[in-house]
Amino acid sequence: MKMQGGSAPADARDPHAYSNGLKLGEGEYAVPGVPRLMLADEHRFGSLLGETLERQFTRKGGDSTAYNFQGWYGTTYNRLALKAEGAISNGKLEESRTELLWARAIASYWDTQVGVRLDSGEGPSRQWLAFGMQGLAPYWFELDATAYVGNGGRTALRLEASYELLISQRLILVPKVETQFYGKDDPERRIGSGLAEASAGLRLRYEISRQFAPYIGIERAGSFGKTADYVSAEGGRAKQTRFVAGLRFWF
């Protein structure tokens, strides 16, 4: 058999054109001086989500303020994303994680993400390259999984999962689990290898509007392995229960 080739038929339609030979911004339907309509995936949008902005209370003191923000700007398929999470206690930044990522949609509910991460707070700062995925799994579970590679052979893995249970159209219960793993010890930042930190919590929010929702909740958080040893050596508690009150917002 001969391979297909040669010139296209004289009446062949441009594969990049609309039906009947119509083209974007050209032809009888184009209005002079008026720009063509842009499809939804051609527009650029921006948003900022304050997932948590809360005060955390413990039974034996050590209260703190925690935040978790996500912002992005771009199109449906490509966007620049910023993630910031941290805790402040006694007017001092205890820990902070900031990520600048390029997100690319690979499916209807999933983005791949690549970029950089900066850890700051107590101890020396650490820089990482970040590679991850974020999206909505079947049955409406929100998942965020990111792997990190740092200097000195450091590696890390962060996993987060949450679910929104609608008690009513305004009252929503959100269970959330978060874990962090590290590939090697980092004594300067009081981090041990393996499972270093994990938390599981419930937050009940009331949506005054979709953009503004106060909440209360409870969370159990703990350090494990050598990380727990570092915490105990400094007089801290490796595991503790927190009561939280805060605000979720977006615009």
What one-letter code names the amino acid at 184?
Answer: K
For 146, the domain range is: 47-250
Query: What are the tens digits of pLDDT across the range 169-218?
Result: 999 999 999 999 999 999 999 999 999 999 999 999 999 999 999 999 99
Is 17 contained in some domain? Answer: no
Is 16 contained in some domain? Answer: no
Which tokens sit at 29? 């339907």
Is 35 contained in some domain? Answer: no
Is 42 contained in some domain? Answer: no
- Give the residue-averaged pLDDT of 80-105: 95
**Buried b / exposed e across 169-204, counting CB within 10 Å, b at 16+?**
eeebebebebbbbbbebbeebbbbbebbbbbebbbe
Is 22 contained in some domain? Answer: no
Q: What integer pLDDT is reported at residue 9 of this predicted model?
A: 75
- Give the residue-averaged pLDDT of 86-101: 94
CA 88 to CA 250: how far, in whole Å? 22
Q: What integer pLDDT is reported at residue 37 of this predicted model?
A: 67
CA 245 to CA 220: how far, in whole Å? 14
Q: What integer pLDDT is reported at residue 10 of this predicted model?
A: 74
Q: What integer pLDDT is reported at residue 33 of this predicted model?
A: 76
Length of the chain equals 251
Is 208 contained in some domain? Answer: yes
Number of structural domains the chain divides into: 1
Residue 240 has pLDDT above 90, yes or no: yes
Q: What integer pLDDT is reported at residue 211 of this predicted model?
A: 96
Query: What are the tens digits of pLDDT across the range 127-149?
Result: 999 999 999 999 999 999 999 99
Query: What are the tens digits of pLDDT across the range 27-39?
Result: 776 777 777 667 6
CATH code of the domain containing 132:
2.40.160.40
Is 38 contained in some domain? Answer: no
CA 185 to CA 156: how far, in whole Å? 11
Q: What is the mean pLDDT of the chain?
A: 90
Is 40 contained in some domain? Answer: no
Provide the phi-psi class of 212: left if phi over 0, else alpha when psi is between -120 and 50, else beta: beta
